[in-house]
Structure 1
């Protein structure tokens, strides 16, 4: 098997060279190698006669017409990429026989391109840069290490919400060397109101007691007749200035990371770096990199994408097949290796009925989520069809597709139809390109008409959803799947207060459930109680791509502001659009000033509050929450609401549509019945209800059609293509190998290739291991590898302090993913981690030989110094949550050899295998408790030389007890990766073998 793998990678290398230097020869050679070259056809279009494509209809096989359209995409890719090595003829036949091979056959999928955002892209590129160094040490040309698959990397994550409407965080000092994130709240005291800014850095507009500049707009930047505040002494700051200052701080803070990415854009071939301040990866994927149909060297084929985030699935809303894989797997795809997947079952989701007027796309998403979650569709493809599909706009579809990980589907696929083409027409696709897309997709039967049910394929099963029965809902307070009708949220929250601590409960005593805590803010007294809203965020990615949803929120804000309603000034409000396109259409539709008037300032473009990058709450608010042990609330229009994700002191977090975020911010509490209670009372004493300010669907659609669609996409494309002056000004090296700066605290050469040899280890057995951690159920990747701020008492903080950085310069774990020293110390550093060895939350564990309680990192260091391997014991759903490669890389560097759990989240399981960590699953019905494991035993696991997929193994303990587990190595490629110590070493080993 090992020799075969070497041959396979050698073929990859040969193809890589051909692709780079002789692309035309490769095109011809591919046809000669491909046993399906007789399927090549010419596009039946007068203007496109030079274009060719593989036509599956020339197989003359009736099974093709019965295939779901998403499976037809897999089939086309397999036919086109069939070379007898990575993709074999039998793989094509298996896909064609999908009706009998679903959930049985393992097949390869070679996507058209790979998508990274910077949080996952930087460590991936760091690994490739380190691999260049490793092969160069063996005399191999480092330029051989290049992506084979076209790769897009979008810089979208390094955006903390430094500035917002009420208060700001201090910007980094001018000599902080590119570092700078606040470690404390900078909410000004009342006594500062009349202070002079003088020559304070970052405040250049004179005295803070100067009156704010006048404006002809209806209070576009003022809240309750008070000016916005500057970073230091409460200086008025305009919304545009807020965006600019946040962007400038981002550039300063992340200079080293941006320099590295600039080097990558020059050093690596086939890499497209999208500069910062353009938008999120998924938005750029939709609006810029997505082609629906790709053309390369005169060959047409369906666009498809593999990304490093679970929400890559958003692109399926445009009929482009795509999903998220691990950052480690994506590196293998970059190098030309296909993704391996079990041929999935496909659930046909038939949409019928007429959408309820007050339901937004988020309500539709959550309604579909409920139905599909009940249907047990984990790991399956979902494909939408039926008469109701045509009622959903392209933004509606992408929003639904974006949320498919929340109902555990692999993808949610909307085939291309006339709605898709109409959308593309408004996104600056030329008439020739649209004609080409439609002609090609019709030629291979990938174009769908939901009016003709005779075209419906055969699905594994069909679920019917009546869109007219879906009503507005929110999800929370701790998990996305806990969906509650808005009409029931008040009663549901009271139930949550009294229930025992769990997925929904907070266990607040009956006599404390109506606690009222007064506090002062800006010289005025307010009250907080359980359910008070303290964070309200309309954030990027999940909703902001949808004009109708955002316009509904903006129109609601406009009507509320004109009715005299306001938002309490202590509530941390923010608007982080997916990109400038959103700001553009909110502006041209005339609603942006009213967002601002209610406090929802545009803070910048990228992931902010959704990643926990929330500007700190006022100290008086935090004190009031702590004083009353209050269950304060955050409301956000995102996709994740795990406890403490927004802020440690905010225990209840609800996912809601953007208009409901605005509504709850105005109400100031989650404990409200909108039908019976007013949002608020205006200055005239009039009660204003939600029904008074909620815009009609017809009103929203009218504005969307007349002012939004025709201009917004042209604008965003122009922004990307024009470039970024900040990005253009960054200087970087022209060398083939990256010049590592060993003083850097952002970018360091990782140790993954230390002592790299030509041959893989001869044995993978694990002898006398200790358990590093003894964990329970639902350990998320946020627990394993946090992406938020770096706590001052953490091991990572101690390391950064040793580098003479102050807490305000720490930045976040996400920003430092290119430094293994920080990320390893940050592994299992979550303050929410529940370790049964310790009995209380926090990043501590037991060093079993000494009996000492230490930081997880320090404990690992001791074990590794003594040459002792480590395992982790866990419960159900280990590794759930966001895709995070360092949730596997970190344990690998901590010395973890295996994770023994009741079940794994699939993507994280793949990450573990990709880093050479063995995922072991207890036998059905068994767990650590039923086996009476204390966790303090020593564990030995013998691996046979010829491991089979899903091999059963025996774990022996030092107490004499043994138990059976299943090694979750699903296929031959998993086994190869594990034997080599992970994907990266596999690639490096084989480059050495083929070139040395």
Structure 2
């Protein structure tokens, strides 16, 4: 019989559910739990969290496995067994980040894009197969199954785990910031850096400070004509404004009773965009209905209910739970919206979109019969954020059907793609008879993967790209994704907007962003209101086509892969045979840099809200970039994307700060440029190498919200390899700060009101006074700094030069992590 770590009589009755899960984790693993046992609003403390599993995707997972493989080599060099480096908890890796929307708008787009995916990535995929057969607890979901978070939601998530004689909550930490999507199913999880993931896989706890918990009470009901996308964009705007960075968000309120799991998952998915660590929905009847709907075994559904009720995790509207902060949102106030053009929290009511677009567009020709300023050149139904939600996908299909029936088509300059997060989506759209209408508008299936949402959008239509470049047009992308940062979606596109799938269709029909969709026709005399489906229409289709056997069919051979995957010739052996690959190279993160930070120079001086896309882009490698020239010099003609090259540190360090939209205040030119030691403008990579040769330590100076965005560990690895020793910023995003520590880069936070006038033009002397405070002196000014090593474990990591040297040291000495 399995046992539970009973919380009765230990957990305070008012303890938020997220903290109950962490208390159970602490008690079962024997770590400090006093801060949770005695919790009251405002409590502080430190926690050691042991995830039940680690969740990865290929572009972050490949470097994780590269590091583990390198640790095996390092272990051999120490005279130890390489198998000492082996995950001790389950790890699941989904290959979803590598397929690119090269081909679109034609029936064979899927087949051609998958063929190109294997051509580009066969070497990486062989390495993943090596990892799968070498590391005992690693499972790999091959390409073509869908997007990791949607697969997690629909199939992988346990909610309640039963293992090794225990029953306990599924606590999932992943190398993608949108791991939080599974919070919508009552699973506590969040994004961590790849370095932390490696340590967790090897049995190391994840160190964190006790997060404040924000109770968000949802009331009312969504009005007809609005979608879960409109709701999440409003929540993102509201909570980003409230301030939830470093906090847990826990949803409560009477609206939960009628809020289905797909809507909850859409909200939880965008947790990184509103800034919190987690965005948790409690387990209730909606959870059980979804588990049944997605074909989970009845015994599993019963176990989830029984455990949740026993441990106080079941949603009880009468429970008097306490929170550090409170926010209330009335769902009846939600209106149709989009968000953009540069941040997910820039919500724009649909009634105001024309005026907002006009403000962004320069003087010159607007879009009419040919693309001009404001042309929508990318319209993508993409991302697990929305494709996991059958209601908005069916709504998109119905909009397409009505548009075709009214004789309206997509504009010729719009690149239209459909890339859902699981095979289930295409099955129910096909069953509903909606696929032909989507295809008539150019929304042919382009692939099962992240694609446009992560910038794997491919090239624009040739003559459109030529017009954009020659005329310097300001054009737009509209996508059903979760991020729209500058330079992320497509290099030629300056304006990026997030929208629900049916609105993506509408903008493809209109072909321009500077339109009032509520008062202007899409085409001819057809208005959006003429083709927008009623809620009853959507519900009728959902009742007709959705059934558990769809999920049984989609997931019956999840880990098998197609013939291409099966035929890959995977290397053998306990250690990986490194070669002359331009995709996979053995890294060295095991040497500790000097502690001297006197006379440091700023490699870059950045402003506010610098994203991980600025620090380490994921999209196509420009041929004229430093990384592009390096690859061409090696004889490479297919440069591929930065995301695909994350197993090669030589490429990635050359791509650090490589975003074409980077604004470095040390120079007057946009892009990956800076001032070198001799004062001339040069590439950031070349300047860093020059500083290294001269023995000069380098730092980054930045404003607020440094590291906004994803869990991308290369946003810290790249700077670390360039020699960056510290980052001085006015505030940090949570995951990126952890990644900096994990790479041995010291995060230093200016005290309030300081740092604006530190230009970075002069040498900077940094002095650490103790474990918590430091000062920086430059140009006759002194700046006070807080040392952002937040836990004793993080101090250990920094003293060793990062997580990997620390873990290697522990393993080599025979410590069980």
TM-score range, shorter chain: over 0.9
| 2:35 is aligned with 1:94 | yes
Residue 764 of structure 1 and its aligned partner are, at CA, apart by 2.2
Counterpart of 1:485? Answer: 349
CA distance in 2, matches of 1:127, 1:837: 34
| 2:794 is aligned with 1:974 | yes
Q: Give the secondary-structure state (helix, strand or coil) at the position aligned to 2:598.
A: strand
| 2:649 is aligned with 1:812 | no
The one-character-per-residue Cα deviations of 1:89-123 (angstroms, maximum 9, x if unpaired) are: xx222112221563x11112211111010111110
| 2:531 is aligned with 1:693 | yes
Residue 164 of structure 1 and its aligned partner are, at CA, apart by 0.7
CA distance in 1, matches of 2:125, 2:815: 32
Residue 134 of structure 1 and its aligned partner are, at CA, apart by 0.6
The one-character-per-residue Cα deviations of 1:183-232 (angstroms, maximum 9, x if unpaired) are: xxxxxxxxxxxxxxxxxxxxxxxxxxxxxxxxxxxxxxxxxxxxx4xxxx
Residue 961 of structure 1 and its aligned partner are, at CA, apart by 4.5
CA distance in 2, matches of 1:620, 1:962: 54
Q: Is the alpha carbon distance of 1:648 and 1:291 closer, same or farther for their aligned partners in structure 2, counting shifts above 3 Å? A: same
Q: Which deviates further from its counterpart, 269-278 or 708-717? A: 708-717
Q: Is the alpha carbon distance of 1:101 and 1:477 closer, same or farther for their aligned partners in structure 2, counting shifts above 3 Å? A: closer
| 2:182 is aligned with 1:315 | yes
| 2:74 is aligned with 1:124 | no
Q: Give the secondary-structure state (helix, strand or coil) at the position aligned to 2:712.
A: coil
Residue 709 of structure 1 and its aligned partner are, at CA, apart by 3.6
Task: Report if the CA contact (8 A) 1:305-1:321 is conserved.
Answer: yes
Q: Is the alpha carbon distance of 1:722 and 1:254 closer, same or farther for their aligned partners in structure 2, counting shifts above 3 Å? A: closer
Residue 928 of structure 1 and its aligned partner are, at CA, apart by 4.8
Indicate the RMSD between aligned Cα atoms, in angstroms. Answer: 1.9
Residue 703 of structure 1 and its aligned partner are, at CA, apart by 1.4
The one-character-per-residue Cα deviations of 1:646-693 (angstroms, maximum 9, x if unpaired) are: 223322211110000001111112222233222212xxxxx2221221
Q: Is the alpha carbon distance of 1:722 and 1:790 closer, same or farther for their aligned partners in structure 2, counting shifts above 3 Å? A: closer
Q: Give the secondary-structure state (helix, strand or coil) at the position aligned to 1:80.
A: helix
Counterpart of 2:597? Answer: 766
Q: Which deviates further from its counterpart, 578-587 or 307-316? A: 578-587
Q: Give the secondary-structure state (helix, strand or coil) at the position aligned to 2:25.
A: helix
The one-character-per-residue Cα deviations of 1:679-714 (angstroms, maximum 9, x if unpaired) are: 212xxxxx2221221111122122112212433221
| 2:754 is aligned with 1:926 | yes
The one-character-per-residue Cα deviations of 1:388-445 (angstroms, maximum 9, x if unpaired) are: 1122111111111101121112211111111111111122212222222211221112
| 2:373 is aligned with 1:527 | no
Q: Is the alpha carbon distance of 1:637 and 1:878 closer, same or farther for their aligned partners in structure 2, counting shifts above 3 Å? A: same
CA distance in 2, matches of 1:51, 1:921: 47
Counterpart of 2:75? Answer: 135
CA distance in 2, matches of 1:775, 1:564: 49
Counterpart of 2:737? Answer: 909
Task: Report if the CA contact (8 A) 1:870-1:896 is conserved.
Answer: yes
The one-character-per-residue Cα deviations of 1:897-945 (angstroms, maximum 9, x if unpaired) are: 111122222211111111001111223212152x5x4x2432333346x
Q: Is the alpha carbon distance of 1:898 and 1:567 closer, same or farther for their aligned partners in structure 2, counting shifts above 3 Å? A: same
Task: Report if the CA contact (8 A) 1:95-1:107 is conserved.
Answer: no
Residue 777 of structure 1 and its aligned partner are, at CA, apart by 2.4
Match of 1:847 among 644, 656, 676: 676
| 2:766 is aligned with 1:899 | no
CA distance in 2, matches of 1:692, 1:852: 59
Q: Is the alpha carbon distance of 1:981 and 1:583 closer, same or farther for their aligned partners in structure 2, counting shifts above 3 Å? A: same
CA distance in 1, matches of 2:387, 2:646: 27
Match of 1:789 among 603, 616, 620: 620
Which aligned segments of 4 or more residues in structure 1 are displaced greater than 4 angstroms?
Answer: none
1:542-621 aligned at under 5 Å gives the runs: 542-621=385-464
Q: Is the alpha carbon distance of 1:864 and 1:462 closer, same or farther for their aligned partners in structure 2, counting shifts above 3 Å? A: closer
The one-character-per-residue Cα deviations of 1:468-504 (angstroms, maximum 9, x if unpaired) are: 111110001221111111112112222333xxxxxxx
Match of 2:24 among 76, 88, 107: 76
Task: Report if the CA contact (8 A) 2:487-2:660 is conserved.
Answer: no
CA distance in 1, matches of 2:114, 2:797: 41
Task: Report if the CA contact (8 A) 2:23-2:33 is conserved.
Answer: yes
CA distance in 2, matches of 1:158, 1:364: 30
Match of 1:745 among 565, 568, 582: 582
Q: Which deviates further from its counterpart, 323-332 or 869-878? A: 869-878
Runs of 5+ in structure 2 lacking a partner? none
Task: Report if the CA contact (8 A) 1:293-1:300 is conserved.
Answer: yes
Match of 1:635 among 478, 488, 500: 478
Residue 456 of structure 1 and its aligned partner are, at CA, apart by 4.2
CA distance in 2, matches of 1:454, 1:852: 66
Counterpart of 1:704? Answer: 542
CA distance in 2, matches of 1:719, 1:56: 38
Q: Is the alpha carbon distance of 1:794 and 1:691 closer, same or farther for their aligned partners in structure 2, counting shifts above 3 Å? A: same
Counterpart of 1:938? Answer: 763
CA distance in 2, matches of 1:885, 1:625: 33
1:314-713 aligned at under 5 Å gives the runs: 314-449=181-316, 453-497=317-361, 508-509=362-363, 512=364, 515-516=365-366, 526-681=369-524, 687-713=525-551
CA distance in 1, matches of 2:211, 2:367: 54
Q: Is the alpha carbon distance of 1:54 and 1:732 closer, same or farther for their aligned partners in structure 2, counting shifts above 3 Å? A: same
Q: Give the secondary-structure state (helix, strand or coil) at the position aligned to 2:735.
A: helix
Counterpart of 1:883? Answer: 711
TM-score (norm 1): 0.80
Q: Is the alpha carbon distance of 1:473 and 1:261 closer, same or farther for their aligned partners in structure 2, counting shifts above 3 Å? A: same
| 2:129 is aligned with 1:257 | no
Task: Report if the CA contact (8 A) 1:589-1:708 is conserved.
Answer: no
TM-score (norm 2): 0.97
State the number of aligned residues. Answer: 816
Q: Give the secondary-structure state (helix, strand or coil) at the position aligned to 1:674.
A: coil
Counterpart of 1:16? Answer: none
Task: Report if the CA contact (8 A) 1:101-1:343 is conserved.
Answer: no
Task: Report if the CA contact (8 A) 1:898-1:920 is conserved.
Answer: yes
CA distance in 1, matches of 2:691, 2:474: 40
Q: Is the alpha carbon distance of 1:995 and 1:323 closer, same or farther for their aligned partners in structure 2, counting shifts above 3 Å? A: closer
Q: Which deviates further from its counterpart, 701-710 or 631-640? A: 701-710
Q: Give the secondary-structure state (helix, strand or coil) at the position aligned to 1:566.
A: coil
Q: Give the secondary-structure state (helix, strand or coil) at the position aligned to 1:116.
A: strand
The one-character-per-residue Cα deviations of 1:768-795 (angstroms, maximum 9, x if unpaired) are: 2222222222222111111111111111
Runs of 5+ in structure 1 lacking a partner? 1-49, 166-227, 229-238, 498-507, 519-525, 682-686
CA distance in 2, matches of 1:380, 1:662: 36
Counterpart of 1:113? Answer: 53
The one-character-per-residue Cα deviations of 1:360-394 (angstroms, maximum 9, x if unpaired) are: 11011122223333433332222122221122111
Task: Report if the CA contact (8 A) 2:458-2:490 is conserved.
Answer: no
Q: Give the secondary-structure state (helix, strand or coil) at the position aligned to 2:814.
A: helix
CA distance in 2, matches of 1:456, 1:589: 44
Q: Give the secondary-structure state (helix, strand or coil) at the position aligned to 1:975.
A: helix
